[in-house]
Structure formats: structure tokens, C-alpha cells
Amino acid sequence: MNKDRPFRRARAADAQKSEENHVVRLGADIKAKIGMQLRLIYDEIVDQGVPDRFVEVLKRLDDPVEDPVEEGTK
Amino acid sequence: MMGPRNEMREHMLEAVPSLRAFAISLCGNVDRADDLVQEALLRAWANLDSFQAGTNMSAWLFTILRNLFRSEYRKRRREIEDVDGSYAESLTSLPEQNSRLEISEFRRALKLLPPEQRESLILVGASGFSYEEAAQICGCAVGTIKSRVNRARSRLAEILSIDSTNDFGPDRETRAVANSDIVRSDRS
């Protein structure tokens, strides 16, 4: 059961070294995992569609009754 | 005259969901992000003349939003961080508790990245822009985007201690216990 100890120690040392140098070799699987998580939180928002607020904002754009648009946000 | 402007408005409307997603991942707060999107839309509308027909409307809008965020970020740096506040509250439809945990861990890790790395990774990895488009949006060289994306991925992998053999699943402590020699010798 202890046979794999030196191997694990070597791996731990490697991990330590890579952390010190801020060099991490990334396989395609890791990139894929990160990409998946990233799209999950991104698409969660995208799937909410267009809130009413923005429909109103864009509708008002054609109706230049009030102050000029640029100043309107101040 | 109504034609082209109406068309632009339609494009802007279509871009709102991804602009919101980008804005929220930039500033981590839904209310501020929505204000940012609204400001970007108004700014874009006021500067429609500077949009070159035939170029990427979406990239143009992202550029405006990103520049607004950058100038505001400098002004209000302290108010920006809201890792688990209204942003997390708005996310309610994730399927299981487990993935919800993974996601909040991932979101926290994302917040630890320098802003330049985070925005580059999001533009390329989530918004679906090419490296060239992302470089245009951020006003930097393509090589800069590539290296930022690489550094962002490395840093995320480090923070989340992902490696090829372990999944996102258990946190570091759980994994350390499961892998420790004590547990192993107890079993043998």
C-alpha cells in the first residue's frame, strides 16, 4: 500500500514547483471544464432574455421629447 | 429614414441578453450591470453615426459597454465587489445542489482574476468572440488577449485545484482526506 508513496511525493513536489512558478500545464480536458463552467454562468443570464426595462429604454429612443440622450443618464 | 434606425434598434435589443451577461460577469452585481447596459445602449444610440455599417454590431456594443465599465471601475473601485449578493440571488434555475456549489466556487474564483484576464476569458470563452474581435473590444493586440486567456485559465485551474484526474466535485479538504495515507492504512 506504501509502494506509491515516493510517486505521490514526487507529484506533490511537482505541483509545488508549478505553483511557485505560476506555470500550470493545462490539458484540453481542463480547458473544456473551465469553458463549460464559464458558459453555464454566462448562459444562465443570457437565458433570462430581455428584461422589460430594456424594451422600454429602447422604445423611448425613438421619442426625443426629453433631454438629449447623452445627458439623460447623468 | 425609419428603416435603418429601426434595424439598429432591433440589433441592440437582440444584443441585450449577452450584454447583460458580460456586464454581470464584469461587475458581479445585477443592478449595477443593468445600469451599465442601459448606459451603453444610450451611448451607442447617441453615437450611431460612428458605427460602421457591415462591421460587427455586437462587438461595437461590447466595446462601448466595456469602456464605460473601465472608466466607472476606476471611479468606484470599492463599490464593485459583490460576489455572492444580488448576482447569486438572480441565479435560481441550476439543476442540483452539487452543481450549484461548483458554480459558486467557480464564480468566486473568477472574481479573483485580474480584470483584464477576466474580461478576456469571458469574451473568448463565453461570449463567443474570436481572439481578433476580443482584441478589438479591449483595444489591445491579439497576442495580449491570447496570453491573458491562458493566464486566466491557469489561474482558475490553480485556484480550483483542478487537475486531469480530479473533477470539480469535492473541495480541497475532502480530497486531501480521501487521498491521505492515514485513510489508506486504515483500510489496509
Same domain, yes or no: B129 and B169? yes
Same domain, yes or no: B28 and B103? no
Same domain, yes or no: B27 and B39? yes
A51 contact residues in B (CB cutoff 8 A): 16, 20, 34
B157 contact residues in A (CB cutoff 8 A): 24, 26, 30, 34
Please tell me whether the overall predicted TM-score, pTM, comes out greater than 0.95 for this model: no
User: Domain containing B107 — which CATH number?
Assistant: 1.10.10.10
Query: Taking the domains of chain A in order of start, what are their residue ranges?
Result: 5-64
The whole-number pLDDT of residue A10 equals 55
Same domain, yes or no: B155 and B74? no
**Is B1 or A43 the better-scoring residue by pLDDT?**
A43
State the pLDDT confidence band at B178, using cuts at 50, 70 and 90: very low
A73 contact residues in B (CB cutoff 8 A): 38-39, 42
What is the pLDDT of chain B when averaged over all its residues? 80
Q: Which of A24-28, A45-49, B158-162 has the lowest mean pLDDT?
A: A24-28
Same domain, yes or no: B15 and B53? yes
The whole-number pLDDT of residue A74 equals 42
Average pLDDT of span B90-104: 64
Tell me the shortest Cα–Cα distance from B155 to chain A, in angstroms.
Answer: 8
User: Domain containing B50 — which CATH number?
Assistant: 1.10.1740.10
Same domain, yes or no: B148 and B176? yes
DSSP-assigned letters across all residues of A2-69: -TTHHHHHHHHHHHHHHHHHT-----HHHHHHHHHHHHHHHHHHHTT---HHHHHHHHHTT-TTSS-H
A27, pLDDT greater than 60: yes
Same domain, yes or no: B100 and B188? yes
| End position of a domain, from candidates B69, B92, B115 | B92
| Contact call for B20 and A19, based on CB within 8 A | no
| End position of a domain, from candidates B92, B111, B135 | B92
B25, pLDDT greater than 50: yes
State the pLDDT confidence band at B53, using cuts at 50, 70 and 90: confident
Q: Which residue of A has its CA nearest to B30?
A: A45
Contact A61, B46 (CB under 8 A): no
What is the pLDDT of chain A when averaged over all its residues? 71
A7, pLDDT greater than 70: no
| Contact call for A46 and B102, based on CB within 8 A | no
Domain that holds residue B7: 1-92
Residue listed under C-alpha cell 476606476: B74
Range 66-95 of B in CB contact (< 8 A) with A: 90-91, 93-94
CB atoms under 10 Å from CB of B39, counted, come to: 19
State the pLDDT confidence band at B28, using cuts at 50, 70 and 90: confident
| End position of a domain, from candidates B35, B57, B92 | B92
Give the list of residues 6+ apart from residue B110 with CB closer than 8 angstroms, or none: A38, A41, B25, B118, B156
Domain count for chain B? 2
Same domain, yes or no: B112 and B61? no
Same domain, yes or no: B172 and B114? yes
The whole-number pLDDT of residue B136 equals 96
